[in-house]
Every structure is written in C-alpha cells, then in structure tokens.
Amino acid sequence: MTALDLKDKRILVTGGAGFLGRQVIEQLHCAGAEPQKITVTRSQECDLRTLENCQRAVDQQDIVIHLAAHVGGIGLNQVKPAELFYDNLMMGAQLIHAAYQAGVEKFVCVGTICAYPKFTPVPFKEDDLWNGYPEETNAPYGVAKKALLVQLQAYRQQYDFNGIYLLPVNLYGPEDNFNPKSSHVIPALIRKVYEAQQKGDKEIRVWGDGSPTREFLYSQDAARGIVMGTVAYNEPEPVNLGTGYEISIRDLITLICELMEFDGKIVYETDKPNGQPRRCLDTERAKQKFGFTAQVDFKKGLKNTIDWYRQHAS
C-alpha cells in the first residue's frame, strides 16, 4: 500500500484533548491533515465504554487514532485494577468493532509498554510480547490493551480491516499529568521536588529502591511516530516507539534534583513496589518500517517538562 495522503481524510482522535492527543493533532496538521476534518472525543461528553457512543464517534470517519485510555502509575494500578482492565478493554474492543462496521479505512491503536512480560530480554523486541505474563502491578491494564492487538489482527485476517498497533514506551513532556494520585514517575518526581522546595523540606521520599530501569519518550516524538505510522505502516505486527535509552530510577531522580537544584536527601521506601525490573525497547522495526527515530535529547526534554511545570504549578 502507498502512503496515506491525509489532506482530505476525516480523522477521529480519541483522547485528543489529552497530554499526547494535543501533540498528535499538532503532528497531523504538520503532515497535511485539515484541522476542520479532525474530530476529538472527550470522556465527559462521549463515554467510549458504551457501544452506541463508539458508533456515533466513528460514523463518517476515514481514520481512527485511538489514544483514549484510563491510565496511571503504580499507585492507581494497585488501587483500581478492575476499572483499568474493564474501561480499557471495553473502550478499545467496541471502538474497533464499530470502526470496522462503519467502513473506517484505517484504525491506529496505541498500546502500552505494560503489555510486555515482567521478565523480557532487554531491549524488548516486539516478537517477545507473548513470552510471559506482565508485571503484576500493571498486568490488568497491560492485558486489556494487549487484547486489542489480538482483535486487530483477527479483524485483519477475517475482514481485511486495516488496523495497526503501536507500542510507545513511557511518555513525558509539558502538559503531562502531575496529579499525585495518578501520575507516572517523571511528573510525580518533579512535583515532589518542587513541593519540597516550596516547603523548605530537606528530603523527598520515593517508592521502591531506585534500581529499576526505564526508558522515556518525549510526547512530541511519540506523536510524530504515531502520525508517521498512520501515514506509512499497514502491517499486522506491533511496533515499538521509543528511544533505546535506558536510565535507572535512582539516576533519574538524581538528574531531576540536579536540574531543579534540589540538594536534599532522597529516602527510598523499599517496602513499596518497584514495578517491572527493566524497561528498554528495541526500536529497529519503527525505523525500518516507517523511518521513525526519536529526536529530543532526554536531558533537554526533562528540562522542558520541569520548566512547564514550574510555570503552571498552582
């Protein structure tokens, strides 16, 4: 198949008002999509857990980019595993089915790094996705999202429905979710350090022992990768989106403290969960299939995120 020309396409972006969604819409504009032909769903007005809402949302659309998710860090995954499983499975499964029934030309599903097995050889290769059960703290969310890959592959096989599945690593960047109840590690740590500085505290407390490693992808890079895949990728195999750069939580905290000029003590709460031991992606498939490589340097991206939070912290 030739690359999609987005110029005349009607495009639905679920979760388009969110942290990643706004960046995806900006990248769609850069790739030639017409602003007036892009539709965004918001959870308050369009609950995608209901089939009728999915059917209304996909009606008359050419492309669906499914970003909407009920998502959070380890804390939220521990407290609400059932909600995270149900909400993400129902949204995705019904939206894919409704899109197929409506004759949508292409469906782009954005999955999660949490779908990978707990002990996956590093760097994670897409072919290892089924070689074990995900890390327990986020398995319900990861399994729900991974089921959508199976659905898309089945619909391609039976109905010749063109659905693709992209797997971005942990995202970060300006406009991220900094709510301590549901945020991921980078915004959570930035907020902790900022609040310690505001109060004059001399220490911050961090979950786990600092040993796990993570890889982070700047939201603008992730959005660019998603749009590149939308335009040029039409195969059933999942594709990682990442940087290939791995950093330990301990080194991440040290770097955030350095960039924020916080010289207090870091106390590791070793009775709290670490999450998956290591996370780092093999990014070769994205490069080969549609030419995507990350561009934003991690330290620069982190500084941009810190600067944004400082400007917007209440």
State yes or no: 16 annotated in a binding site. yes
State yes or no: 210 annotated in a binding site. no
Distance between CA 273 and CA 269 in Å, rounded? 9
State yes or no: 145 annotated in a binding site. yes
Distance between CA 48 and CA 165 in Å, rounded? 19
State yes or no: 20 annotated in a binding site. yes
The active-site residue out of 100, 116, 133, 141 is 141
Cα 224–Cα 230–Cα 232 angle in degrees, nearest 5? 100
Q: Phi and psi for 83 in degrees, rounded to 5?
A: -60, -45
State yes or no: 285 annotated in a binding site. no
Distance between CA 150 and CA 132 in Å, rounded? 16
State yes or no: 225 annotated in a binding site. no
State yes or no: 168 annotated in a binding site. yes
Following CA atoms 204, 209, 210, 215 in sequence, which dihedral angle do they give, to the nearest 10 degrees?
A: -120
State yes or no: 169 annotated in a binding site. yes
Cα–Cα distances in angstroms (integers) from residue 180 to residues 183, 187, 192, in the given order? 6, 8, 9
State yes or no: 181 annotated in a binding site. no
Distance between CA 23 and CA 16 in Å, rounded? 8
Is 141 marked active-site?
A: yes
State yes or no: 17 annotated in a binding site. yes
Which residues have a catalytic role annotated? 141
Annotated binding residues, written as ranges, equal 15-21, 145, 168-171, 184, 192, 207, 214
Annotated binding residues for substrate, written as ranges, equal 192, 207, 214
Annotated binding residues for NADP(+), written as ranges, equal 15-21, 145, 168-171, 184
